A and B are shown apart, each in its own frame.
Chain A
Amino acid sequence: MSADHLPTPAFVKAATLAGHLYRMRQTARLMSLSASNAKGVAARAGDKALGFRPITNFIAEMASETILHASRINALALEVSRLSVAALRNRDGEQRFILARESLGDASAQAFLDEQIAQSRTARQDMGRQIQEIMQQLASQLEQIHQALRASGIIVSNSRTEASRAGDFRKYLDSIAASVEAAASDIQGEIVLCRRLIEALSHDDEANHHEQPSA
C-alpha cells in the first residue's frame, strides 16, 4: 500500500488526543496563574478593584475545573492508545494464526489453531468493550470542560468593565482579562479538535475488526 493513502491508526489518534489534552492542561495552568496574579493585583488595588475580586474566584475555579477534567481525559486517552496498540498486536497475531491454519492439513493442529483464533477474538472483543466504555467517559469529561468554560465570555467582559473602574490598576487588570480570554479561546479550540478525534476514534476502533478465515 502506498504510504500516501494509509489511514491514521487508532492508537495514533488516541495519542494525538492525549497530546491536545496535555496542552489544554498547560493552558489551564496559565489561566490559574492569571487568577493568582489577579488576586494579588486586586488586593493591592483595594477599593478600586472591589468588583474584580469575586471575578478572580471565577477564573480560578474555571481553571481548576479544566485542569481536573483534562488530567482525567488525558489518562483515559493514554489508556485508549495503549488498548488500541494491544488490539492491533492481537489482530496481527490472529492473522498469522489464520495463515498457519490455511497451510495445515492436520485436523488436530487445525483445532489447536482454531482455539488460538477464538481466544484472540474473545480477548479483542473485551478490549473493544473497554475502549467503548472509556470513549464514553472521555466524551462526557470533555463536555464538562466545555461547560466550565461557557461562562468565560461573561467573566472576561465583566473583568474589562471592572478594570475600567480600577484607575491606576486598569492596565494590569486589562492584561489579566486579555490572558484569560486568550487561554479560554485556546482551550475552546482544543475542545473542537478533541471532539473531532473522539468522533473519528469511535468509528474505527482496532478491537472490532476481525479477519475472516478462508477455511
Chain B
Amino acid sequence: MQSTHLYEKGHRWIAFGRDPRKPSGIIDTNQYLVVDGQRALLMDPGGIEVFSAMLAAVMQLCEVDKISDVFASHQDPDIISSLGLWDQTLPHARLHAPWLWEGFLRHFGLDHMEYHGIPDEGASLTLEHAELQFIPAHYLHASGNYHVYDAEARILMSGDVGAALEADGAPLFVEDFDDHTGKMQFFHQRWMPSNRAKNDWIQRVRSLDIDIMAPQHGRIFRGDDVKRFLDWFEALEVGSAIA
C-alpha cells in the first residue's frame, strides 16, 4: 500500500492506495488519514480485503493508539466492510458515520467502538487543533452520506464524488482533466441517483475554499481542476439507469 502526504503544516493529511497486492476483481480505493498531534482520524478505511495492507501502512506513519476517530462516509463494502477488524484494532475509537446507516453498519461487526451518528445537517470534529467538518452529501450516492472538509488545509475528502474507474496502478493525481472525464462519466451517471442532490451539493461546495479534492476512487484533483470538476459535474445528467 502506498502512502502520500497531501498536507503537512501543523497537522498532516495522508492518502493511501494503489496497493500492488490488492486481489484482482475488487475496485481500487483511496483511504485517508489526518494526524494531529496525539490524535488521528481514519477516513473510509476500506474493505476487508485491503485491511492488512492498510493497517501496516497506517502503522508506518502513526501509532495505532493515536487513532481516536474513524469516519465512514456511507455504508458501502468498499468503504467500511473492514469495520469488524478495525473494531478489534481500535476498541477505544469512535466511529463517525451517517445516523441513517447505524443499524446496517453494525452488520459488519461493532462490539467496542462507540457509534457517533452524524445528523442529516452534518457535524464537526476537532482533533487536537484541526477542525474537520462532516458535510452532507446525501444521495451522492448513498441516501445518508457525508464528505470531510478541512478549511485550514483546504482539502475536501469527497467520497464517491469525483471517483473514476481506472486500471490498476494509475497515477494518484489528475494530470489532464479533459482526458480524465472519460474515466469518471459512467461512474457518476450510473451510481449517482439525483440531479437535484448533485446541484445542491455543487452550490454548497462552490462556496468553500478548496485546493485539493480527494475522492475515494481514482485520482485526486488539485488547484483549478477542482473548479473544472464542479463545472463538468454540473453539466452532467445523472441517474442514467432510468431511460
Contact = CB atoms under 8 A, between A and B. Distances in A.
Interface of A: 1, 3, 6, 9, 11-12, 15-16, 18-19, 22-23, 77-78, 81-82, 85, 88-89, 92
Contacts of B85: 11, 85, 88
Contacts of A16: 59, 64
B52 A3 contact: no
A16 B51 CA distance: 14
Q: Which of B48, B56, B64, B111 has the largest count of A CB atoms less than 10 A from its CB?
A: B56
Given A3-B91, A9-B88, A9-B89, A85 B59 contact: no
B206 interface: no
B67 to A, nearest CB: 11
Given A12-B64, A85-B51, A78 B88 contact: no
Residues of B contacting A: mostly? helix
Nearest to B54: A15
Contact of A19 (B51, B56, B84): B56
A210 B84 CA distance: 20
Contacts of B91: 3, 6
Contact of B88 (A6, A18, A19, A22): A6
Interface size range of chain B in the complex: 10 to 19
A18 B56 contact: yes
B228 interface: no
Contacts of A15: 52, 55-56, 59, 64
Nearest to A89: B48
A6 B89 CA distance: 10
Given A18-B60, A22-B60, A12 B112 contact: no
A1 B52 CA distance: 24
B92 interface: yes
Interface of B: 48, 51-53, 55-56, 59-60, 63-64, 84-85, 88-89, 91-92, 111-112
A181 B59 CA distance: 26
A15 B55 CA distance: 7
Given A6-B91, A15-B52, A15-B55, 6 more contacts: A6-B112, A19-B59, A81-B56, A88-B85, A88-B88, A89-B48
B104 to A, nearest CB: 19
A12 B85 CA distance: 10
Given A3-B91, A3-B92, A11 B52 contact: yes
A104 B76 CA distance: 33
Contact of A85 (B52, B63, B64): B52
Contacts of A11: 52, 55, 85, 89
Contacts of A3: 91-92, 112
Contacts of A89: 48
A92 B84 CA distance: 11
A81 B55 contact: yes
A81 B52 contact: yes
6 contacts: A3-B92, A6-B91, A12-B88, A15-B56, A22-B60, A85-B52
B90 to A, nearest CB: 9
Most A CB within 10 A of own CB, among B52, B64, B111? B52
B233 to A, nearest CB: 37
Contacts of A92: 84
Contacts of B63: 19
A92 B92 CA distance: 22
Contacts of A19: 56, 59-60, 63
Contacts of A1: 111-112
Contacts of A22: 60
B216 to A, nearest CB: 22
Name which of A9, A82, A85 has the most chain B CB atoms within 10 A of its CB: A85
Nearest to B82: A85
A4 to B, nearest CB: 8
